[in-house]
Amino acid sequence: MNYASYIDHTLLKADASEKDIKRLCKEAKEYGFFSVCVNPMYVKLAKKYLRNSEVKVCCVIGFPLGANVSKVKLLETKKAITDGVDEVDVVMNIAKFKDKKYNYVGKEIAKIVDLCNKKVLVKVIIETCYLSKEEILKACELVYECGVDYVKTSTGYGINGAQVEDVKIMKEYCKDKLKIKASGGIKTLAQVQEFILVGAERIGTSSGVSIVKEGINQEN
């Protein structure tokens, strides 16, 4: 199985340097990852390093708390589009969602979807570690109604990352109408296999190289 094709090769550390981004892109090309996922300031640089390759460039929006005002998230998205981003991973306004301000949350996401205009793929991070089962299902419904392409589990900066049980809950609603990305704390091939088994169609991880190598060794 080509596990690399599921992976968004991720580097979102505060101290990530241009040299680190260059290495990330080189690894993505070498191992055939689906995309690299970087902070917005590095979209243009990643596009440069990935020129003439099939690897996509993804960046996060409103990361990691989702608590930026809507205008800032929209400006961040516009800039990423201008810089050539292929996909955006948007952190839902978790506080507003928990307060049941669903109209606010939905409007914000819908505006970002409109900006992307079906040319840039949109994933929304709902940060499952802060949500009950009922809230996870509601969040999936809300983002689906906004026209996003994927719902994503986690930023990796919450109290925990992706959990298999949470992806199972997400799949209850998403079925075949909304894709799922699992991310946060995924470091082994066994984890990747389990998340794919329960319905994840994309995996966000900073451990992509070791995971792919583990898969190659397993096949041999």
- Give the active site residues: 89, 152, 181
- What are the residues whose beta carbons fall under 8 Å from the beta carbon of 7, sequence distance 6 or more? 33, 34, 192, 202, 203, 204, 205, 208, 211, 212
CA–CA gap between residue 128 and residue 132 (Å, rounded): 8
Angle at 195 between CA 30 and CA 119, to 5 degrees: 60
CA–CA gap between residue 11 and residue 43 (Å, rounded): 12
Single-letter residue type at 149? D
Q: Which of 186, 220, 130 is nearest to 7 (CA)?
A: 186
Q: What is the 3-state secondary structure (H, E, C) of 35-49?
A: EEEECHHHHHHHHHH
